[in-house]
Structure 1
Amino acid sequence: QLLCILPYEVALRRGYFAEEGLEVELVYARGGSQALQFLVGRAVDYAATSLDAALQAYQQGAPILRFCSTGRLPLFALAAAPKSPVKGLKDLEGKTVGISALGNADHVLLVYLLRKAGADPKRVQYATLGPNLYEALKAGHVEAGMVQEPALTLLKEAGGRELVNLMDLKQARAYLGGPYEFMGVAVRREERQGRLEEMRALSRALEKALRFLHAANARLIADTLPKALIAGGDEERLRAVIERYRKDLYPTGVRIDLEAARRVAESQVEAGLLPPSFRVESLLDLEVLGASG
């Protein structure tokens, strides 16, 4: 998902890491769980993942600390299939909704959305469709589904309907109560003190990248990405997606928004993935940079 990695690629390719005296290599993993396995196994020095992934790794015993944030919204929207009668969250009761997998971020978020809207998640059927979700939704095999971009745009062009777009800050405030912590950086807990100045330098570089994402035009941002990452894709559509979401998805600073992080933990508690007594502060290091909110 290119929208996840934009701040990191921008910081590297525009020289912001170098300005802070850092030599950085970006190593791509197959998802947040693998990235955190790399971190715990000492294959990398830091791991940039969603907070959802970090929470699960931490709950399973990973000795990690999360110290900065580069994303304040989840990269998901709930959309109805073409010709589906579904018009809102309450309409999903008794219907089948496509998700990537049970327990994944999109499933957890959907359950959280349903409960916030007063709908009963137990009355919804969940179809685990993995990478086939978009095609199944477009064909009407499910009534609705949790999608990302560019699938959301493509689905709307095919006659589908956007129900809730959590990549939109106004909608996130309306449906979730505010920002919902997403991408950020973790370090091995035992190395925190020895890496403290490096962590602050890394954070300063990423903050420069976030400000660039707010200030630059979408074409310049897209051109910052290495061609290998967008090979075979629709570059014009990518630029449109960046322009649509960049000021909502990315904060202008890297300090962790504690309330946004608490919403993610609350969603995992409600989905049964974390115990009711869990406190997200145990994973977060708010003293490296200070907390926002």
Structure 2
Amino acid sequence: MSVVSLSILFLFLTACNSNSTVSVSVAEVTRSLFYAPQYVALEKGFFEEEGLEIDLQTTWGGDTTMTALLSDGADIALVGSETSIYVYAQDSKDYAMNFAQLTQTDGTFLVAKEPQPDFEWEDLKDSNFLGQRVGGMPQMVGEYVLKQHGIDPHHDLNLSQNVDFANIPGAFSSGDYDYVQLFEPTASVFEKEGTGDIVASFGEESGQVPYTVYMTKQSFMDQNEETVQKFTNAVYRAQQWVQEHSAEEIAEVIHPYFEDTEIDMLTASIDRYKQQGSFATDPILDEKEWGNLKDIMNEAGELPADVPYDELVNTEFAEEAISD
């Protein structure tokens, strides 16, 4: 084969390689418009433009999501950062590393069964309260906020925590509960239907925390740095897009992921999250947020180890994405 032919073959193979698509499996802890930037990245083609083909699976719960990640059932997990601390405390040899933050506040709202235009936190005392899963971020943040208002959730409430995450809305509707923590759009749907009244936001009350973060095993990160970087680039582009567009525009884009919810309801819910700053504006998980997370876990009695920030957080990919 001539030198010219070899050169042409090399250029052809290089071009094919540069246009190749890398498949990445992502496990999301639940399907929620709280994760609107992720669906924007998918629908606007930001992952595709980075050469990534995303296989998105909803794994319904922190435990199952982390099992999928640690057993190689997923390359990347979108889940609360607290799960990486739980894995670390189990002496894992292959840590789950947080590399890109998606949401930076709690995403739940306090919903009362009856209208309460003059709601005070004191009203919760002696009520039947349907809480979230023990050890999960919604429950820990909920307890943290209640304690800030002088309420001991385990002594001042009739607290129930025995309902699976996916069944909480139905249990509240049909059960003898006075209050519940709900994500959007369920909270707004209940309010519109007259089956609930949104009286407070846990996100506004608790401040910034690394509530939902993309993480991957240290081994995957070491072996696939370019893929992780491209993934983070796409996430950041989506975060910028969400900041620059209206709630209605965002709702139109992500509607395919919530076909059973009307556009106006999606718009109202997204606007709530935008107004309280729930969507992270960049993928960097900073040290102050990590400290807030540990404080909340410690207050709930769920912090298994005082894990240093540098042990489980890698901001290099996020910083690179922002600098481009």
Report the TM-score when normalising by structure 2. Answer: 0.76
RMSD: 2.9
Counterpart position of 1:118: 150
CA distance in 2, matches of 1:102, 1:44: 24
Of 203, 216, 239, which residue of structure 2 is paired with 1:187?
Answer: 216
Counterpart position of 1:254: 283
Q: Does residue 231 of structure 1 match 2:267?
A: no
**What SS does the aligned partner of 1:254 have?**
coil
Contact 2:33 2:185 in 1 (8 A): no
Of 142, 156, 162, which residue of structure 1 is paired with 2:177?
Answer: 142
Q: String of CA shifts for 1:114-134, please: whole Å, max 9, x gaps.
A: 222232233222123444543
Contact 2:89 2:305 in 1 (8 A): no
Q: CA deviation at 1:65?
A: 0.6
Q: Does residue 152 of structure 1 match 2:180?
A: no
For residues 39-78 of structure 1, the aligned pairs below 5 Å read 39-62=69-92, 63-78=95-110
Counterpart position of 2:199: 163
Counterpart position of 1:35: 65
Q: Does residue 127 of structure 1 match 2:160?
A: yes
**What SS does the aligned partner of 1:24 have?**
strand
Q: Percent identity?
A: 21
Q: Does residue 97 of structure 1 match 2:132?
A: no
Q: Does residue 272 of structure 1 match 2:301?
A: yes
Q: String of CA shifts for 1:54-88, please: whole Å, max 9, x gaps.
A: 33344334521111101111210122220679933
**What SS does the aligned partner of 2:98 have?**
strand
Deviates more, 1:10-19 or 1:213-222: 213-222
Deviates more, 1:74-83 or 1:126-135: 126-135
Contact 1:32 1:49 in 2 (8 A): yes
Contact 1:69 1:184 in 2 (8 A): yes
Gaps of 5+ in 1: none
Q: CA deviation at 1:40?
A: 1.2
CA distance in 2, matches of 1:27, 1:134: 22
Counterpart position of 1:206: 235
**Residue type of the alignment partner of 2:59:** A
| Cα distance change of structure 1 residues 56 and 276 upon mapping to structure 2, 3 Å threshold | closer
Gaps of 5+ in 2: 1-30
CA distance in 2, matches of 1:188, 1:276: 19
Report the TM-score when normalising by structure 1. Answer: 0.83
CA distance in 1, matches of 2:266, 2:230: 30
CA distance in 2, matches of 1:13, 1:154: 24
Equivalenced residue count is 284
CA distance in 2, matches of 1:22, 1:150: 29
Q: CA deviation at 1:25?
A: 2.5
**Residue type of the alignment partner of 2:229:** R
**Residue type of the alignment partner of 2:220:** E
Counterpart position of 1:283: 312
**Residue type of the alignment partner of 1:148:** F
**Residue type of the alignment partner of 2:42:** L
Structure 1 or 2, whichever has the larger Rg, is 2
Counterpart position of 1:197: 226
CA distance in 1, matches of 2:91, 2:154: 30
